[in-house]
Amino acid sequence: MDLATLAARLDDRLRTDAFADLDASPNGVQVGPDERDVERVAVAVDAAVATVEEAIAWDADCLLVHHGLVWGGLDRVTGTEYDRIAPLIRGDCALYVSHLPLDAHPDLGNAAGLADHLGLDEREPFGALGPEHIGVRGNRAPVAPDELRDSLADLDNEGVQHLAFGPDQVEDVAIVTGSGSDWLGEAREEGVDALVTGEGKQQVYHEAREAGVHVYLAGHYATETFGVRSLAETCESWGLTTTFVDHPTGL
């Protein structure tokens, strides 16, 4: 499959164009030639020297990531940018990025994958961002708050931070992966029992306490492995060979 075809298929499946005015990340191909045959696709959460080098060592034709190299524009290729881009060019490896589209996708996305992990049913969009949503809300059989925390603990060896300010039983759960504590206000307005995200800002403690909502901080990296793994399965269904480059940050 050529790179343009792969990118077009991914863009269509992920509704990339819908997030063009919402995302600081330019989604799609960030590094690559106009024409490139792709047979081997590595997937990773982050485009960094470590993941790029591992992808190239595996002889990847394309590295597909959630967090790319460009955020809001690229003025010059020096320093860190050069250190990350140069190996891709030397290794003849393209880079495809899907940030918010991959958070948001109702089947392939990070929030959807975490909702599967937690066994959420009756799902609906959550995490409003302009006309789109980047998270999900759903119900599960009622559990004690500590039990929900334990079900998240196997995602991240560094452990889960739990702000235990919600009800004695958790049933209605909202998810925004990565850095999603800004949506605690929506969680409060919607009356959910718990908000699950990756990392939080300092003020989320008092906001959660005042809202009476449990907040679980399960790790930015750990909550955002689901999407790229799902895209690897999608690429395999298109006849491509894939590998997951796992490089946890503990954050």
Least confident span in 35-39, 74-78, 111-115, 129-133: 74-78
Residue 63: its pLDDT value, please?
Answer: 98
Summarize pLDDT for 178-192 with one digit per residue, the tens. 999 999 999 999 999
Q: Which of 24-33, 94-103, 148-157, 239-248 has the lowest mean pLDDT?
A: 148-157
* Averaged pLDDT for residues 7-18: 98
Average pLDDT score, the chain: 96
* Higher per-residue pLDDT: 250 or 46: 46
pLDDT band at 9 (very low <50, low <70, confident <90, very high): very high
Does the annotation place 66 within a ligand binding site?
yes
Give the mean model confidence (pLDDT) for residues 99-123.
Answer: 98
The stretch 32-43 carries a mean pLDDT of 93
Q: Is the pLDDT at 156 greater than 80, yes or no? A: no
pLDDT higher than 80, residue 193: yes
Per-residue pLDDT for 157 more than 70? no
Q: What pLDDT does residue 155 have? A: 87
Dihedral sign, CA of 74, 11, 228, 145? positive
Contacts for 117 with CB less than 8 Å, ≥ 6 apart: 151, 155, 226
Residue 116 above 70 pLDDT? yes
Report whether 220 belongs to an annotated binding site. yes
The arithmetic mean of pLDDT across residues 183-206, rounded, is 97
Average pLDDT over residues 24-43: 95
224 is in an annotated binding site: yes
